[in-house]
Amino acid sequence: MTEFHDFLCSIVIGGIILTMVLGFNTNIAEKSVTQSFNSIVQSNLTTVTSMLEHDFRKMGYFVFDSLKVLLADTNNIIFRADLDNDGTIDTVGYRMSYTRDTTCVNPRARILYRVISNQGMQSIHLGVTQFKLWYYDGQGFPTANLSNIKSIKVAFHVESMAPYDTIYAGAYWERVIKPKNLR
């Protein structure tokens, strides 16, 4: 009788251990997928920020008249600069679309457009859900006067293109950029 009791107890303990191992494995797999989604979002964020910072820091570069910033509103900017240092002044623009980005599952994703005069329009399909701009004068006060813009605060939010278990991974970026050529 004790052998049967020992056998039954070992089956119960073995079942508990097996259930714990399976639960642990499921948890590890779920965390791995979540981390992969977060890494993709961070990579997309880095791609957009590096391109945007490069262009914004060149704002007004080799433009010798007062027409450096041509248009500035909350989600749209057009400025002039010699982006590739070839002596030709480029007109550069960024704007956020109001329509949904149909290339991904995320219903909040929009297309961020980058327009360069000699290269045409580039659609950025990286899960950008928000894009906002603020403009400041030399003393740090908000300004709507194009010739008084000395710094720009840029903020945007990027989310994963598809959900994991109905949740979209996300990352937020915000920075004040002070182009040297606007001073």
The rounded percent of the chain whose pLDDT value lies above 70 is: 99
DSSP strand E in the chain: where?
A: 69-73, 76-81, 90-100, 110-116, 120-124, 128-136, 151-159, 170-177
Query: Is residue 125 one of the residues assigned to a domain?
Result: yes
- pLDDT given at position 71: 97
Helix (H, G, I), strand (E, B) or coil at 83: coil
Single pTM value for the model: 0.85
User: What phi and psi values does residue 55 have, to the nearest 5 degrees?
Assistant: -65, -45
Q: What letters, b where the CB count within 10 A reaches 16 and e where it falls short, cover 72-91?
A: beebebbbbbbbeeeeebbe
From residue 175, how far is each of 4, 17, 113 by CA, in Å? Answer: 70, 50, 19
- Would residue 26 count as lying in a domain? yes
Inside any domain, residue 17: yes
Give the model's pLDDT for residue 68.
96
Domain residues for 127?
A: 11-182
Choice between 136 and 29, residue whose per-residue pLDDT is larger: 136
In a domain, 3, yes or no: no
Q: Count of domains in the chain? A: 1
Q: How far apart are CA 61 and CA 160, in angstroms?
A: 34
Residue 27 in any domain: the answer is yes
- State pLDDT tens for residues 122-138: 999 999 999 999 999 99
What was the pLDDT predicted at 43?
A: 96
Tell whether 122 is covered by a domain: yes
Compute the average pLDDT of residues 53-65.
95
Establish if 4 belongs to a structural domain: no
The arithmetic mean of pLDDT across residues 58-74, rounded, is 95
